[in-house]
Amino acid sequence: MSTKTKPPAKLGGLRFKNAVTPWLFILPGLVFTFIFRYYTTFQAFWISLHDYDVAEPPGDFIGFENYIALFKNADFWSAWKNTLIFTVLSLLITFFIPIIQALFLNEVRRGRGMFTTLYLIPTMIPLSINVIIWKWIFNPNYGLANAIVTFFGGEPQTWYSDPTLTKLCIILPGILGGGFSVLMYLSAIMGVDRDIYEAADIDGCYGFKRLWYITLPNIRFLIMIQMILAVIGAMQILDQPLQYTTGGPNGASTSIALHINNLMVENVNYGKAAASGVILLVVIAIITAVEMKLDKSEKK
Amino acid sequence: MTRWVTASSQTEAGQRREERFQEKYPNIKLNNVIVAEGTDYITAFASGTNPDIGAVGQPDMAKYAYGGMALALDDYMATWDEREHFEQAILDNFKYNGKYYALASDSYTMQLFYNKALFAEAGIENPPATWDELLETAKKLTKPEKGQWGMNLLLSQWQNWWFEYFVWQAGGDLTKENDDGTIELTFDDPAVETAIDFYRELIAADVIQPDLTLDYENMQNEFSAGHAAMTLIGSGDITRFTQQGMNIDDIGIAELPVGPSGEKVTQLGGNCGFIFSNVSDEVADAAWTWLTFERSKEETEQGLKDAADLGGASPQIVIRDDVDVSLGNVNPEYQAVVDASIPHARLEYYGKGIVGTYVDKAVEKTALDPDADVKAVFQEQQELAQSEAVDSYNQDILESGK
């Protein structure tokens, strides 16, 4: 009497199927990721080593000369300085707003759906429309901002035209918060185990203490992920300075991404533009690695 | 044959022209690809996704010709029976190293546009004729409480464009064309500092747009909206303002003010069409057919009639000698100003397409910062331009001339 239930050949086929099927599912994604992410990144690095010739690519190989020239260029450093200020301003002004909005929504019992919709609607407004609205608000002659400032006895400002204020004016619209971040924070907050809150209630942990010791630590993983994404997004800021101020006045709002754009589109210097892009990638990678190293949320 | 068009350039008259072309040349298929304003040909060329023909302003054409991106048209022009009807000087604007690389599409002079209603309201009878008058007139027209300023000044992009006029009016230039076609930079010309000083005077007097980050398009929109009382723009752009709702009776045009040199001077501008070098012979033939069709006597006159139907064509600088310009119903007042400007009009400074961005940077850094050392900043940009752009450009010219 045989105890075998499956013939060895069939068993081998099933194992093969089980091993290969998952790869078949992820293969298209992997292929496209390599083509459109990694290949283009390596291509950019390759271009950065050339005095790129559009008509006869890639042109003369010049090693790291593009990088050396960038490091000697004051505008390159000015763009980096602006980018870091944009990043800090963005984190200070806009990062925490969606968390506060999500906490508020979590506490609301009636009208949560309405408020959630209200927070989402602004994300549907294109940036170019926002630019028109905020340019009107900050118009030095007839804008709302100067009306408010002068009402309180202040001096009217030139806002976007003032090199010291322009970056703030570009980031400030983000203070309205909203968007998908609110939904993500809200779902994370609502996902916190109710038993923990009940235990906290019994221990007399209410209000701000409950927020500080229960809610925030339990959504810390999401805050860290959002923080990493926010820093990456802020370091790559391009559309806002381009549309609000075209990088001015006098380069005061030219971010490194806009600097790269200008090198490519205006100066037609693909080699330097690619070198700047590679440097930006490396800097973002280092900052992201540091952020992930500092993040203890997964280990706890 | 593929060409790029923008949504705003897709007019009814343009579509009728395409229909006439297809009717006349049914064997050529015209593919219009709609792109955003300012979509870059060079990036497309680098990735092999460029159209077959391009249309650019005169200063930019050098980049395409010397960069190997444009096809030399000499073989086509040798057998082109219409050639004799074109002004030789205008054809020669697109000759590089002895070869033709593009055909002129239109031509314009740069003029001072002013809002007649705002002038009348301020009690000003005539447009300014000198720099001093320009400043004084702008002061009278600046009324912050009404959101109105005296004049537009290009400070947030393409700064080198208008700046060149002020340098010329101060008696100098930004570059020099050597006999062998190479560029010599002259950013240290004393006229450059004079022009920057005048820019600073205008900015300090608060007579220009209060939002210094306004881009070119929005700046011109502010003129049609009645916020800017004066602006600079090409003579061919009158319809642009009327299409935006400005009353044509409020639009005045004048010659550019005279600067310290005492000489009248303005820019002779123009656009051109060219064929990309990476197209097949068959497509190149089709592209040439389109370029010559667009510039034919019949199509040029039809263009004038179309403009007349819309209220009158812009003042004309005729690029063909066999066209009946009266078909355009051009306002004689405007035409007189353009005719008076033509003898003083010149092409943009040599090599603008190569070094313009360096001048942009220097103008921005010095005009907006009264403490900036003008000589030092322009010297720094000149050295950068020399090492990053001019040296290789000059080398290409010398090599292609061998």
Residue range B201-212, pLDDT digits in tens: 999 999 999 999
**In chain A, what residues touch B45 (CB-CB under 8 Å)?**
54-55
Per-position b or e across A65-89, b if 16+ CB within 10 A of its CB: bbbebbeebebbebbbebbebbbeb
Determine contact, residues B286/B312, Cβ cutoff 8 Å. no
User: Are residues A136 and A25 part of one domain?
Assistant: no
For the segment A227-256, the average pLDDT, to the nearest whole number, is: 93
Residue A183 clears pLDDT 80, i.e. is over it = yes
Coil, strand, or helix at residue B371? Answer: coil
| Residue A79 belongs to domain spanning | 65-294
Rounded Cα–Cα distance for residues A258 and A242 (Å) = 7
| Residue of A40, A134, A161 to mutate when probing chain B, most B C-beta within 10 A | A161
Work out the minimum CA distance from A41 to partner chain B, whole angstroms.
15
Say yes or no: B18 contacts chain A, CB-CB below 8 A: no
A253 and A217, same domain (yes or no): yes
Q: What tokens were used for B58?
A: 């005169």
Tokens describing residue B66: 């010397």
Contact in structure between B174 and B186 (CB atoms under 8 Å): yes
What is the distance between the alpha carbons of residues A59 and A192, in angstroms, rounded to a whole number? 58
> Is the predicted pLDDT of residue B307 greater than 70, yes or no?
yes
B156:A248 CB<8 A: yes
Confidence band of A45 (pLDDT split at 50, 70, 90): very high
Average pLDDT of span B386-399:
86
Tokens of B315: 């003042």
User: Does one domain contain both A29 and A145?
Assistant: no
User: Cβ(B230)–Cβ(B114) under 8 Å?
Assistant: yes
In whole angstroms, give the CA distance from residue B292 to residue B335: 26
Integer Cα distance of A214 and A219 in angstroms: 9
* Cβ atoms B112, B127 nearer than 8 A: yes
d(CA A206, CA A202): 10
pLDDT surpasses 50 at A248: yes
Residue A43 and residue A151 in one domain: no
Shared domain for A24 and A78, answered yes or no, is no
CATH of residue A155's domain is 1.10.3720.10
- B65 to chain A: closest CA residue: A55
CATH 3.60.15.10 holds for B109-267+347-401: no
Q: Is residue A273 part of a domain?
A: yes
Cβ-Cβ contacts under 8 Å, B40 against chain A: 265
In B234-293, the residues whose Cβ lies within 8 Å of chain A are 277
Q: What is the mean pLDDT of residues B369-379?
A: 95
B213 to chain A: closest CA residue: A245
Q: How many CA atoms lie within 13 A of A100 on its CB side?
A: 8
B352 touches chain A (CB under 8 A): no
Q: Do B153 and B142 contact (CB within 8 A), yes or no?
A: no
- Give percent of chain A above pLDDT 90: 51
Cβ contact B364–A248 (<8 Å): yes
pLDDT for the residue numbered A297: 58
For residue B52, give the DSSP letter: S
Q: Is the interface score ipTM higher than 0.90? A: no
- H or E element that contains B281: helix B281-294
Per the CB < 8 A criterion, the answer to whether B164 and B267 are in contact is: yes
What residues does CATH 3.40.190.10 cover in chain B? 2-107+268-343, 109-267+347-401
Average pLDDT, chain A: 88
* pLDDT (0 to 100) of residue A174: 85
What residues in A contact B54, CB-CB < 8 Å? none
- List chain A residues with CB under 8 Å of B62: none
Pairing of strands B99-100, B95-96: antiparallel
Strands (E), B76-148: 95-96, 99-100, 103-115
What is the separation, in whole angstroms, between the first and last Cα of chain A? 55
Q: Does A69 sit within 8 Å of B212, measured CB to CB?
A: no
**Does A248 sit within 8 Å of B388, measured CB to CB?**
no
B352 CB neighbours in chain A (<8 A) are none
pLDDT above 90 covers what percent of chain B? Answer: 61
- CA distances to B128, B162, B402 from B395, in Å: 44, 29, 11
Task: Output B165 or B396, whichever has higher pLDDT.
Answer: B165
CB contact under 8 A, B369 and A57: no
What's the rounded mean pLDDT across residues A162-176? 91
SS (H, E, C) A45-100: HHHHCEECCCCCCCCEECCCHHHHHHHCCHHHHHHHHHHHHHHHHHHHHHHCHHHH
* Fold for the domain defined by B2-107+268-343: D-Maltodextrin-Binding Protein; domain 2 (3.40.190)
**Same domain flag for A241 and A143:** yes
Closest-approach residue (CA) in chain A for B156:
A248
CA distance B106 to B300: 10
**Mean pLDDT (chain B, rounded):** 91
Q: Do A31 and A174 lie in a common domain?
A: no
Say whether both A232 and A87 belong to one domain. Answer: yes
Any domain includes A110: yes
Task: Please tell me the total count of domains within chain A.
Answer: 2
CB contact under 8 A, A54 and B42: yes
Say whether residue B186 is in contact with chain A using an 8 A CB cutoff: no
Could you give the C-alpha distances from B278 to B44, B62, B68, B114, B253, in angstroms and in order? 12, 17, 9, 44, 42
| Residue B260 DSSP SS3 | coil
Please judge whether B144 and A141 are an interchain contact, meaning their C-beta atoms are less than 8 angstroms apart: yes
φ/ψ bin of A44: left (φ > 0), alpha (ψ from -120 to 50), beta (otherwise): alpha
Residues A130 and A221 in one domain: yes
Task: Tell me what pLDDT residue A16 has.
Answer: 82
Cβ contact B385:B393 at 8 Å: no
Check A160 against B368: CB less than 8 A apart.
no
Residue A49 clears pLDDT 70, i.e. is over it: yes
Same-domain status, A145 and A1: no
User: Which residue in B212, B221, B393 has the most chain A C-beta atoms within 10 A of its own C-beta, making it the best mutation to test that interface?
Assistant: B212
> Is A57 domain-assigned?
no
Q: A132 and A247 share a domain?
A: yes
- For A111-160, give the DSSP string: SHHHHHHHHHGGGGS-HHHHHHHHHHHT-TTT-HHHHHHHHTTPPP--GG
Q: Which two tokens stand for residue B23?
A: 């009717």
pTM attached to this predicted model: 0.83
Q: How far is B35 from chain A (nearest CA, A)?
A: 16
Among chain A residues, CA nearest to B142: A141
Same domain, A27 and A152: no
Whether A1 has a pLDDT exceeding 50, the answer reads no
Residue A79, in any domain of the structure: yes
Contact with chain A for residue B370, Cβ under 8 A: no
Q: How does residue B166 score in pLDDT terms, banded at 50, 70 and 90?
A: very high
